[in-house]
Structure 1
Amino acid sequence: MMMRRSAILPTLLVVAAVAVMIGLGVWQLQRRSEKAAVLAVATTNPGKPAISFPVLPPVPRELLFRPSSVHCLHVVKWRVEAGRAADGKTGYRHIAECSTGVEGPGVLVVMGVTQRPDAKTTWTGGQVRGWLSEEPDHRSLLVRLTGNAPPLRPMLIAREPAPELKAAAPPTADDIPNNHLAYAVQWFLFAGIAVVIYAIALRRRATTPATPPTGTNP
């Protein structure tokens, strides 16, 4: 009886861990369906007519990668993120955080790519034409799972680069990873392995003779 009672807590912990892993696997399957829809629009939207740049997030899925334009009143600051140039070479995307007016929310514009993150450009603002996208996603997995993640802001990928920069790669379906099925299978395997390992541990514990208390007479 003592053995069974002592196994209650670890059993509950294993059940909770397995439930979390299964939940992550199901979430990845849901993400796979969402990603399939994004891939479909990424293939066709760049060639469609231009639309107005959205003022506030989130960007509707059906509008991603459509041609659009925005006026950058002036650059408030620059951000640097890993990215790819139109010629296929990897580098650093230079993202301008632009002001659009006194009370405007501002916009993000990818103005080009360089090989060095500390490279500079003399561009300070102006009218920009390109493709509608979203800002880089740095939200943690935990925040996204809880549903409390803030929406990603709209971002424009400039068709023409700023001075001293190379043109950024236009959005294509090839740039969007679709490995959610592999991640889902991975989480389900982890859950199955955890169950098997714990079952083996319980069986070994049940077949191991109990050690008599020290100091007892034979």
Structure 2
Amino acid sequence: MTRFRPIPTLLVALAVATMIALGLWQLLDRLPRKEAFLAQLESNPTKSPIGFPRLPDDRLLFRQSAGDCLPPVAVRLAGAGKAGFRAIADCSNGMTVQLGTTRDPKAMVTYAGGLVTGYIGHAPDGRSLIGAALSPQQPRLMLVATPPLAGLQANAPPDIASVPNNHIAYAGQWFFFAAIAAIIYVLAARRRNDR
């Protein structure tokens, strides 16, 4: 005899509906906003230069900029993939500058500060994935020097491909989870009814 179980059915139906809604939200809301944002970033390198911003604003990524790195300056190295290492200068006025790149992991880079021209990028974030998830905050901006400073190799040019756009994949995951939940519920209900 088949028995209808209203509470488990309702809970699974609500979970499936929520997952489908999240998938639609990714496709219909988040994806168009991200595509508009990427179009803006793609046009930023051709816009006129601005002074380096005091507050983080991702809409300014890849925009040409200039700023004054005030001494004293602390320089550190950060991984840069194929380019080797980035020399990052932390200025006393709170500005961060990517001076250039080097292949030498032990390079002793000296930089006294001064006027820097280049484009706006994200400063490296040394937090772990868990730390970033528990304490989300907008990434700090950094001025990527063009031309490079302190005798270093050139920095990579702005690359729109470095900004992730995963919303179609996120939507697919939510739809997949909804389908799996529905299939598992149907199989479990059949098994219970077969007993």
Shared fold (TM-score, shorter chain, > 0.5): yes
Shorter-chain TM range is: 0.7 to 0.9
- Give 1:174 deviation, angstroms: 3.0
Please, which runs of 5 or more residues in structure 1 have no aligned partner? 84-88, 101-105, 209-218
| Equivalence for 1:67 | 64
Could you give the per-residue CA deviations for residues 171-191 of structure 1, whole angstroms, max 9, x where no partner exists? 132333333212321221122
Shift in CA distance, 123/20, structure 1 to aligned 2, threshold 3 Å: farther
Q: Which of 122, 138, 147 is the aligned partner of 1:151?
A: 138
- Give 1:159 deviation, angstroms: 0.7
Paired with 1:175 and 1:199, the residues of 2 have a C-alpha distance of: 42
Amino acid of the structure 2 residue aligned with 1:131: Y
Length, aligned pairs only: 190
Paired with 1:69 and 1:90, the residues of 2 have a C-alpha distance of: 23
- Confirm or deny that 1:92 pairs with 2:48: no
Paired with 1:166 and 1:199, the residues of 2 have a C-alpha distance of: 60
- Give 1:67 deviation, angstroms: 0.8
Give structure 1 regions of 4+ aligned residues with deviation exceeding 4 angstroms. 7-12, 14-24, 136-144
| Equivalence for 2:116 | 128
Could you give the per-residue CA deviations for residues 150-202 of structure 1, whole angstroms, max 9, x where no partner exists? 22222111112233532111213233333321232122112211221222122
| Equivalence for 1:211 | none
Amino acid of the structure 2 residue aligned with 1:123: Y
| Structure with greater Cα Rg | 1
Query: So what's the TM-score if we normalise by structure 2?
Result: 0.75
43-52 or 170-179: which moved more? 170-179
Residue pair 2:19, 2:178 contacting (<8 A) in 1 also: yes
- Confirm or deny that 1:166 pairs with 2:153: yes
Paired with 2:8 and 2:66, the residues of 1 have a C-alpha distance of: 59
Please, which runs of 5 or more residues in structure 2 have no aligned partner? none
Amino acid of the structure 1 residue aligned with 2:45: P
Identity, % of aligned positions: 46
Residue pair 1:139, 1:149 contacting (<8 A) in 2 also: no
Residue pair 1:42, 1:172 contacting (<8 A) in 2 also: no
Query: So what's the TM-score if we normalise by structure 1?
Result: 0.69
Q: Which secondary structure does the structure 2 equivalent of 1:96 belong to?
A: strand
| Equivalence for 1:76 | 74
Amino acid of the structure 1 residue aligned with 2:86: R
Paired with 1:123 and 1:78, the residues of 2 have a C-alpha distance of: 11
Paired with 2:130 and 2:19, the residues of 1 have a C-alpha distance of: 13
* Aligned-pair Cα RMSD in Å: 3.5
